[in-house]
Amino acid sequence: MVHLTDGESTRAVPDSHRRGIPGSKYRQRVTYHFYTELYRDPDLAEGEDYARRYRRHGRFDDELAQPGGIEKTAVIAPHGGGIETGTSELCLAVAGYHPATLEVTPPGGVTYDYWMFEGLRAGGNASLHVTSTGCDDGVALSLCGGALNALALHGCTTAAAGQPAGSQIVLVGGRNQTFKQYLLAAFANQQLAAVDAWNIKALNGDDRDNIVNRTLLGMGGHLELTTPLRLAMFDVNTREERKHTTTPVFWAFVTACRAAVARLEAEQVVR
């Protein structure tokens, strides 16, 4: 799957040779096909070039007569930080944690497992983009693989989305058709523009190998937010300031996602 990140094409080029750019702080590489390939690159440093953050909630059952349970939903942002800006903050908030403080938000609210891969560079984050079908991060695979549902937050340009310039809209994809319908309804309730992404092949999250579909049910929900929509979610669009400057649009979007997840989970009985 090809994603177009903010203003930058990440379409894979046939060869994968490094392209050293003299004087460039960030040596350009054409593409990484898998996260493990990126993690092995000795030229990249975790904590400087990229970060991985996740939360896995503990569960146990020591009672003989008590039914067991599993996590029903995991929230992921495979292209967070500076790769598809705003998606880290959304991932945290949809999972129930304020992006600035990590406090449970709203207080006492439901929380979900989450996983994010984030670009930390001041620039050149697009080269850290690994396609969703190439996501072989062990934590991501185990979180999604152990949950009934996954919800992925992504960012795209209006051009890639087939929308007029300036459109604030979310494309709703993924293989779980029920989840898609609930997401579309929830966005409508919050007066957020949303369309079914079924006919936008590069962005519809329909591939079985897409990390969001590698759940216990083999399907998930894949959201692509246009750049103008994500820009409307923050007063200051920098990695340092986004989490401190979320707007009502941000929280309306978060509310919609959480409502759709809650509606989906309410119908799911774990045996």
What phi and psi values does residue 87 have, to the nearest 5 degrees? Answer: -75, -30
Strand 73-81 with 28-29, pairing: unpaired
β partners of residue 118: 51, 80
Q: Report d(CA 188, CA 176) in Å as an integer.
A: 19
Residue closer to Zn ion by CB (options 105, 157) is 157
Question: Which among 151-159, 189-197, 202-210, 240-248 is the span making contact with Zn ion, rule CB under 5 A?
Answer: 151-159
Q: Is the peptide bond before 99 cis (omega within 30 degrees of 0)?
A: no
Q: Binding to Zn ion by residue 258, rule CB under 5 A?
A: no
Question: Which among 24-32, 50-58, 79-87, 215-223 is the span making contact with Zn ion, rule CB under 5 A?
Answer: 79-87
Q: What minimum distance in Å lies between the beta carbon of 202 and Zn ion? A: 11
Q: Report d(CA 113, CA 221) in Å as an integer.
A: 15
Position with the least CB separation from Zn ion: 154
Token pair of 17 as six digits: 């040779």
Residue closer to Zn ion by CB (options 156, 186) is 156
Residue closer to Zn ion by CB (options 99, 205) is 205
How many of the chain's residues bind Zn ion (CB under 5 A)? Answer: 4
One of 79, 239, 242, 258 touching Zn ion (CB under 5 A): 79
The answer to whether residues 250 and 234 touch, using CB atoms and an 8 Å cutoff, is yes
Q: Binding to Zn ion by residue 3, rule CB under 5 A?
A: yes
Residue closer to Zn ion by CB (options 79, 175) is 79
Q: Binding to Zn ion by residue 55, rule CB under 5 A?
A: no
Give the 3-state secondary structure of residue 141.
Answer: helix
Under rule CB under 5 A, which residues in 15-44 are in contact with Zn ion?
none
Strand 194-196 with 170-173, pairing: parallel
Under rule CB under 5 A, which residues in 119-138 are in contact with Zn ion?
none
Q: What minimum distance in Å lies between the beta carbon of 268 and Zn ion? A: 26
Q: Binding to Zn ion by residue 72, rule CB under 5 A?
A: no
Q: Binding to Zn ion by residue 154, rule CB under 5 A?
A: yes
The answer to whether residues 111 and 57 touch, using CB atoms and an 8 Å cutoff, is yes
Residue closer to Zn ion by CB (options 12, 104) is 12
Enclosing H/E stretch for 249: helix 248-266
Residue closer to Zn ion by CB (options 50, 105) is 50
Question: Which among 12-20, 33-41, 148-156, 201-209 is the span making contact with Zn ion, rule CB under 5 A?
Answer: 148-156
* Sign, Cα dihedral of 100, 104, 106, 109: positive
User: Angle of helix 177-189 relative to helix 248-266, nearest 10 degrees?
Assistant: 140
Residue closer to Zn ion by CB (options 3, 242) is 3
Question: Which among 7-15, 18-26, 77-85, 249-257 is the span making contact with Zn ion, rule CB under 5 A?
Answer: 77-85
**Cβ neighbours of 191 (radius 10 Å):** 9
Q: Report d(CA 37, CA 31) in Å as an integer.
A: 10
Q: Which residues bind Zn ion (CB under 5 A)?
A: 3, 79, 84, 154
